[in-house]
Structure 1
Amino acid sequence: MNAPTTARNLQIDYSAYADTYRRDGVVIIQGALDEAQMKRVEGAFEARLANPGPHAERIFPDDRAVTLQTVGISADDPIIVPLLHHTALADIAQSLLGGVPLWYMQDQLWMKEGGNARRTCWHQDSSYFPANGLDSVVMWFCMDPVAKVNCLEVVRGSHKGPTYNGSLLDPADPTEPLYEGTDYPRLPDIEGNRSRWDIVSADMERGDVLVFNMNSLHGGAPTFPGQRRRTLSFRFFGPDYHFATRPRIRTDHPMAAARANQDSERLSVGYAGLSVGDPIGKSAFFKKVRDAGPGWKAAV
């Protein structure tokens, strides 16, 4: 289960990005996956698209454009196993976290095509997942080249906090808060005040990987008529990632009920039996995919 990958790109020292990742909460690694690895990734994308599973949903169903999201949450999934052990994805995540033991959390597929597929609202993944800590990695990469205007955007340094209230993803007001009775501050209007924020994005080629912390503010990645964007993202975590509670989802908004059902069904998977403060890796559900690297020492 913890065997090292046989597909590491030997031309890239992934650990060289670790300091930048800790400081900024985001890095873009050009050429991180070679063509052989990308063929594996693309095959997994098409397999997931053909078998989306119970957690698939169409985001923004009123749009003419199709924005499909599917979620896989098991490291034993036969679609995912080859990517964990025969591509550099887990190696990259482990290197950016300083060689820590590494667990797989979940993957997501994004398919946007047909008309104008709106940008994803600014948000932090950490607002939704019941966990806190420094050891988290989200990897975002596309099957085809993506222009900067269609790329995901990340606010540099935002992983250092604060953690904002979640977004209801309400097109009328993307900052509309998800939770009630909480001290979490409301999401700022980043899109309306872009010049005030240090936003990281770039033209990306096939094989480039955008990596960010789960507490980093991110959003964007729209598509336009005639475009088709095929994207996978992977989440990993290390030992400094601990179970935490999240506030109560509000009940006074029409979009809140659907969000509550989705969260209870999908995001709660794997956390049963954990107490606040427990390492998420203690759960039997999440599988360790890399043992600690040489020289890594646990905090005391």
Structure 2
Amino acid sequence: MNFTITKDQKQRFAQDGIVKLPGLISMELLAELDACFEWSIAHPGPIASGKTDREDFSFVDNGNPEAKSMYDEIVARSGFGEVIAELLDSQYVGYFAEEIFWKKGRSNPTFWHQDTAYQPWSGEHWCNMWIPLMPMSADQSVQIIKGSHKGIQYDGTTFNPKNPTQALWGGAAKFPPLPDITADVAENPESWAVLGFDLVPGDV
């Protein structure tokens, strides 16, 4: 993989918590990742959610044990590790797991949350790579709150459609409750600094 992280990209990622890497992935590698995606759709793991036989749906799968060797192999030879090490100024980079999203029709967006409320890690030397397999506008692709990785750690959400801020841990943890960011932004678009990018296949 022949891709150089610029100083500006490093700074923006460190400050904002998100950065666009245009054209990072070759069309050949993207075709392999697309085949992995199709396999994951056809072979959902034990914690997959969502039905794909409806007009409107949201399918999510994560950490499928049957898919581990497939994703381990492609990530190991992809060059992703070198790029992320450069982005994070880190000597070592590890790979955790895949997460697959497939949404169609008028499916609801994923509720706002912080991954660190769900996983036993913290700090600044970790990241997610979002890889689109089709063109996506900024309001369709992943969005974050600018600088939130350096701010308050909120409680997670249970992803209850009737209550998007229903506490994951509640009294079992000391996290403050998750704000209703969607409602806040609907009332006042300036209440939260929402960041996202227009993306095409090959971008990350």
TM-score bin (small chain): 0.7 to 0.9
Aligned-residue sequence identity (percent) comes to 25
Q: For residues 76 and 46 of structure 1, what CA distance do their matches in structure 2 show?
A: 12
**What secondary structure, in the 3-state scheme, does the structure 1 residue paired with 2:128 have?**
strand
Report deviation, 1:15. 5.3
Structure 2: runs of 5 or more not aligned:
none
- After TM superposition, the score normalised by the length of structure 2 is 0.87
Q: For residues 169 and 81 of structure 1, what CA distance do their matches in structure 2 show?
A: 28
In structure 2, the partner of 1:117 is 107
Q: For residues 95 and 64 of structure 2, what CA distance do their matches in structure 1 show?
A: 9
- For residue 40 of structure 1, the aligned residue among 32, 35, 59 is 32
In structure 1, the partner of 2:160 is 170
For the structure 1 residues 191 and 76, does the alpha-carbon distance in structure 2 shift closer, same or farther, using more than 3 Å as the test?
closer
For the structure 1 residues 150 and 76, does the alpha-carbon distance in structure 2 shift closer, same or farther, using more than 3 Å as the test?
closer
Report deviation, 1:109. 0.7
Q: Which structure is higher in strand share? A: 1
Q: For residues 163 and 145 of structure 1, what CA distance do their matches in structure 2 show?
A: 32
Amino acid at match of 1:109: I
Amino acid at match of 2:195: V
- After TM superposition, the score normalised by the length of structure 1 is 0.60
Q: Aligned Cα RMSD in Å?
A: 2.3
Structure 1: runs of 5 or more not aligned:
1-7, 210-300
Q: Which structure is higher in helix share? A: 2
**Correspondences of 1:97-116 after superposition (within 5 Å):** 97-113=88-104, 115-116=105-106
In structure 2, the partner of 1:231 is none
**What secondary structure, in the 3-state scheme, does the structure 2 residue paired with 1:82 have?**
helix
Q: For residues 68 and 175 of structure 2, what CA distance do their matches in structure 1 show?
A: 35
The runs of at least 4 aligned residues of structure 1 exceeding 3 Å deviation read 73-76
**What secondary structure, in the 3-state scheme, does the structure 2 residue paired with 1:69 have?**
strand
Q: For residues 21 and 148 of structure 1, what CA distance do their matches in structure 2 show?
A: 17
**Correspondences of 1:45-194 after superposition (within 5 Å):** 45-58=37-50, 65-72=56-63, 77-113=68-104, 115-181=105-171, 182-194=173-185
Q: Deviations over 1:49-90 (max 9, x none)?
A: 22222232228x9x8622111122669833213321232322
- The answer (yes or no) to whether the contact 2:23–2:203 under 8 Å persists in 1 is yes
Across the two proteins, how many residue pairs are aligned to each other?
197
- The answer (yes or no) to whether the contact 2:68–2:97 under 8 Å persists in 1 is no
Structure (1 or 2) with the larger CA radius of gyration: 1
- The answer (yes or no) to whether the contact 1:75–1:81 under 8 Å persists in 2 is no
- The answer (yes or no) to whether the contact 1:167–1:174 under 8 Å persists in 2 is yes
The reply on whether 1:201 has 2:196 as its aligned counterpart is yes
Report deviation, 1:142. 1.2
- For residue 22 of structure 2, the aligned residue among 20, 30, 38 is 30
Q: Deviations over 1:190-215 (max 9, x none)?
A: 11222211111121101111xxxxxx
